[in-house]
Structure 1
């Protein structure tokens, strides 16, 4: 594994960093992957459109839709890292996922219809995968889509419920998975759709979370009619479409290393400012040892990301790479936030918004949100099973 950037990639990073510094819509005030307040959405849409126009998003799209087939494969990761480094907003929604599905499985008509609108950020997309009893076990989804009619007038009528839908209340379009053959094995009989979120029969209900914000939503679908022309890929082949698009969206993983270095920097500043027995906490031996251990783990996290990128470049990816990286990152992220809260002593019990909180209560919000990373993208318990079975070849659990 080599981590040395090529001169071309280093020059690209400098260009992206300068672009972000000039055009970014301000610093995010909350940790994690969050939905913006409605008032912020126009600025984030404009920012996203600028990123596409400058060639910093959609890099791996076909050239006729603005992609650059000759680009270095790590350029999308560089863009994600520089956005994270600036602590500004990444593009909101599921456009990266659905564009990967459209590029690989969509029809020419679908690409011509949807990709330009994604580039202009005319459409914010949400991901309609998880359900109340089908989160980590996504293939158990029960939302049904039944076909009516034939030919150009054919539609699919959808009934069901989705949950944990980030940006659902902002979305113009949805990337939907629904079961079209209930008799097929659970990983089959699923179809992927592009869904107009303004369609009759859709009810989006924000979920108030432990953080006090409403990043997630429930989405209820009652007799929603989707044109058959909006099927992405083949009918009953949606599982392959979804897994392929999830596998292609690697750039967000790269940002995790930068995020944790930034949190570590904040933690060091906090340890220098917060007093313990009348001295800065960092003067305390136990505190220094704890911070040192966390710093070492942040470096390991970066090495895991670099290893995964190296294997991706050389076509040697292994089944355990993504699960292990996600487990390590999410549990380290929790430990960083937890230590930042504990450093504050009894002040850590204050809530975000209290004028006496450190950093306007950022650590309180980060701590509450950090549990979400251990669940999102597959609960860590489930991912450990994947590592055991697919990575280490251990016997499957009895079913």
Structure 2
């Protein structure tokens, strides 16, 4: 057997022994406290096996550290890991997602040594993060944000509102963008902060969505004080730092999500389909071809890096709209039963097999990290070199 074959056999054996067999039933309709408890226990289980943060450097607890690796787990090994976790219907790391991907990538790229020492081990111990980027008037046009941060000695005093903050109700820390120079051009006067969510002046309010979940939140900030030591990167240059965070959302995270969709999601679809129906079989073949393309693109970008400035946007757009079409088809062929399901497991992926709820939820993915319209603009202007859209200002 090759090294990859050995690793696949290892992961399969681990999945059989450690994935809770009843987690879907036990995680449907549970309280927030039970959801948080389960998520933290599952993260600890994955971390103890070396599977929670395979993309991190070994010095911070990532990679195949039990095998003497010096860097992150190879892309080939990560693909095998995500394939097997999906094939064995493992719960997703919903609450840890922002911490292990967005916060970690930001800290590794732009954080100080002290910030990395403080937060990277804490994330592995279960520290939960939320992303405080979008605002009521600054969603797709993130640079239009109005939350302000004025400097007072060795602190910044922050006021404003953040919206669509996934997991904000349970978060310990927040990746926060705020305007520190209101006179500067809008992309030049933004700073990037690490915000302790226990700070006085923070009010987190859950938002109930169309399927009854409340993982979205509003965050209100009223003269919240942030130590200057929690500034990430230089003052007024947070826009550049934020690109590392958004790059993680459109890059490395897509490797896992693509494997989930190509394994668990597609298998759920096949199981509920009448494969003897030629029209259904043709659609399944189309989806399989599209999924193969998505997974190949994600692997190439992670292995070799983007070949063009618009590559991450291509992957994000492709994934989100493929997810939408696949779940829509699941709702179409799922029959009346699919339309009577009123709850899905809270620790499942975007493709849980509760097709109508999955389809409604899939629309979320065409918005965060840059709406599909924004991704198309990036692809047109940066990827194809087309003229910039005229400003409406």
Q: Which of 135, 138, 145 pairs up with 2:139?
A: 135
Quick one: distance in 2 between partners of 1:44 and 1:167?
12
Runs (4 or more) in structure 1 with deviation over 6 Å come to none
**Closer, same or farther: CA 103–213 of 1 in aligned 2, 3 Å:** same
Quick one: distance in 2 between partners of 1:207 and 1:268?
33
Query: Contact conserved, 2:86 with 2:260, CA < 8 A, in 1?
Result: yes
Between 1:340-349 and 1:241-250, the stretch displaced more is: 340-349
Shift of 1:331: 1.9
Aligned-residue CA RMSD in angstroms? 2.9
Quick one: distance in 1 between partners of 2:165 and 2:15?
28
Which of structures 1 and 2 has the bigger CA Rg? 1
Quick one: distance in 1 between partners of 2:82 and 2:367?
22
Match of 1:278 in 2: none
Match of 2:317 in 1: 327
Quick one: distance in 2 between partners of 1:55 and 1:348?
37
Query: Contact conserved, 1:257 with 1:302, CA < 8 A, in 2?
Result: no
Query: Contact conserved, 2:270 with 2:284, CA < 8 A, in 1?
Result: no
SS at match of 1:390: helix
Q: Map Cα deviations across residues 117-142 of structure 1 (whole Å, 9 max, x no partner).
A: 11111x11111111112122212111
**Closer, same or farther: CA 73–80 of 1 in aligned 2, 3 Å:** same
Q: Map Cα deviations across residues 221-263 of structure 1 (whole Å, 9 max, x no partner).
A: 1111111111112211212222113324533212333333323
Q: Which of 30, 35, 38 pairs up with 2:33?
A: 38
The answer to whether the aligner puts 1:88 opposite 2:90 as a matched pair is: yes
SS at match of 1:191: strand
Between 1:297-306 and 1:136-145, the stretch displaced more is: 297-306
Match of 2:241 in 1: 241
Number of residue-to-residue matches in the alignment: 369
**Closer, same or farther: CA 198–81 of 1 in aligned 2, 3 Å:** farther
Shift of 1:76: 4.3
Shift of 1:42: 1.9
Query: Contact conserved, 1:145 with 1:180, CA < 8 A, in 2?
Result: yes
Match of 2:349 in 1: none
Match of 1:112 in 2: 117
Query: Contact conserved, 2:136 with 2:163, CA < 8 A, in 1?
Result: yes
Match of 2:348 in 1: none
Q: Map Cα deviations across residues 275-308 of structure 1 (whole Å, 9 max, x no partner).
A: xxxxxxx444xxx324423432333233233234
Match of 2:150 in 1: 146
The answer to whether the aligner puts 1:263 opposite 2:258 as a matched pair is: no
Q: TM-score, normalised by structure 2?
A: 0.84
Quick one: distance in 1 between partners of 2:109 and 2:343?
45
Q: Map Cα deviations across residues 162-184 of structure 1 (whole Å, 9 max, x no partner).
A: 11111111111111111111122
Shift of 1:207: 0.5
Counterparts of 1:189-338 in structure 2, within 5 Å, are 189-248=189-248, 250-261=251-262, 262-272=264-274, 282-284=275-277, 288-315=278-305, 317-338=307-328
Shift of 1:201: 0.7
Match of 1:276 in 2: none
Query: Contact conserved, 1:179 with 1:189, CA < 8 A, in 2?
Result: yes
SS at match of 2:168: coil
